[in-house]
């Protein structure tokens, strides 16, 4: 093997890298209609995380994408059970505006949620639609993270649509789920042009050459490790990162540094970025 990366060597031979923990910024929870998961619950997810050295995963439950009240309650319990390993995105379903308001009202009362999960394609509702506005306003006011599913050429959540929304809420942090899969140039442009937009590698990582392009054209400090766990084995994404033609410094940025920085304001006892902590989670 001519890949001389010490990080790659560690993952290959030991299964984890003690000097490079992993933070997964795009997870889910529980069974899903169209796929067999051997391990869809916390015990199995933790087993996969432990083996690969994944310190923490930020999740939305699959149920919450359909029924936010039930699903977010499920996710809150998982976070209570495993506060050091699980954080959450509170999903909102824009097709039921009253429920969006209810989820915003509940937000300060459940620990461990770092922001909102949008799945415009799954809910067949455009990311630019009015029913997302209350959650976007709240995320901006409270300096929260918004992870939105994005996909190339989608009528609901294309990279351009995120590029339309993100500048209006500069104090919110936007994670472009799947990096606008397939519409790479547009997605990279949105991430470059907006300081508050980051690229999530979930699923995108497997496209040969994409990680190199992100590092070259956007910067590794704007890319985040993600797996859709329990969909995808953390080792698959880690393997794509380890065997990309990038530097170990870039690998560390993707695997944990940028996520550490984004999550710092939400972690008890951590040192938040300047000016972020005072407004988090308050009404």
Partner 1 sequence: MRFFDCNVGFGQPPNAAATVLRTAEELVRELDFCGVAEALVHHTAIRHESAQAGNCLVVDETADHARLHPTWAILPPQTHEFGTVHEFLADMRRHGVGALRAYPAEHRYLLNGLTFGSLFEELVPRRIPLMVGPHWAALTQLLADFPDLTVIIVGHGDWGDDRYFRPLVARYPRLHLDTSNYQTPDGIADFVGQYGHERLVYGSGFPPFQMGGALLTLARADISDEGKEAIAGENLRRLLREADP
Binding window for partner 1 (CB under 8 A); candidates: 68-76, 127-135, 146-154, 207-215: 207-215
Compare residues 54 and 172 and give the one whose CB is closer to partner 1.
Answer: 54
The residue from 71, 115, 234, 265 that contacts partner 1 (CB under 8 A) is 234
The SS3 call for residue 238 is helix
Shortest reach from residue 266's CB to partner 1, in Å: 25
Q: Is 259 an interacting residue with respect to partner 1 (CB under 8 A)? A: no
Question: In angstroms, rounded to a whole number, what is the distance separating the alpha carbons of residues 261 and 270?
Answer: 10
Q: Is 46 an interacting residue with respect to partner 1 (CB under 8 A)? A: no
Please check whether residue 207 is in contact with residue 175, taking contact to mean a CB–CB distance below 8 angstroms: no
Nearest C-alpha neighbor of 93 from the set 125, 141, 133, 62:
125
Size of the site for partner 1 (CB under 8 A): 46
Q: Is 51 an interacting residue with respect to partner 1 (CB under 8 A)? A: yes
Cis peptide before 230 (omega within 30 of 0): yes
Tokens of 246: 């990038």
The residue from 206, 219, 267, 272 that contacts partner 1 (CB under 8 A) is 206
Binding window for partner 1 (CB under 8 A); candidates: 60-68, 97-105, 160-168, 233-241: 233-241
Within its chain, how far is the Cα of 175 from the centroid?
6
Question: In angstroms, rounded to a whole number, what is the distance separating the alpha carbons of residues 178 and 203?
Answer: 6
Binding site for partner 1 (CB under 8 A): 1-3, 8, 11-12, 15, 34-39, 44-45, 47-48, 51-52, 184, 205-213, 229-245
């Amino acid at each position: 093997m001519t890949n001389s990366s010490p990080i790659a060597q560690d993952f290959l031979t030991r299964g984890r890298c003690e000097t490079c923990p992993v933070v997964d910024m795009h997870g889910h929870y529980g069974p899903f209609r169209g796929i067999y998961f051997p391990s869809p619950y916390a015990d199995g997810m933790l087993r996969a995380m432990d083996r690969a050295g994944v310190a923490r995963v930020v999740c939305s439950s699959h149920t919450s994408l359909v029924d936010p009240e039930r699903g977010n309650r499920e996710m809150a319990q998982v976070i209570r059970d495993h506060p050091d390993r699980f954080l959450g995105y509170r999903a909102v379903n824009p097709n039921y505006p009253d429920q969006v308001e209810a989820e915003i009202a509940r937000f300060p009362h459940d620990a461990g949620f770092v922001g909102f999960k949008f799945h415009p394609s799954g809910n067949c509702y455009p990311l630019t639609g009015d029913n997302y506005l209350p959650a976007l306003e709240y995320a901006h006011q409270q300096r929260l993270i918004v992870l939105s599913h994005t996909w190339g050429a989608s009528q609901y959540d294309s990279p351009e649509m995120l590029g339309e929304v993100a500048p209006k809420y500069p104090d919110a942090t936007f994670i472009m789920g799947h990096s606008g899969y397939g519409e790479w140039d547009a997605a990279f442009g949105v991430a470059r042009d907006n300081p508050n937009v980051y690229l999530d590698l979930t699923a995108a990582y497997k496209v040969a050459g994409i990680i190199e392009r992100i590092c070259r054209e956007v910067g590794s400090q704007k890319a985040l490790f993600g797996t859709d766990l329990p969909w995808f084995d953390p080792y698959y994404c880690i393997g794509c990162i380890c065997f990309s033609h990038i530097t170990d410094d870039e690998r560390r940025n993707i695997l944990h540094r940028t996520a550490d920085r984004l999550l710092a304001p939400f972690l008890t006892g951590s040192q938040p970025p300047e000016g972020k902590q005072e407004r988090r989670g308050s009404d």
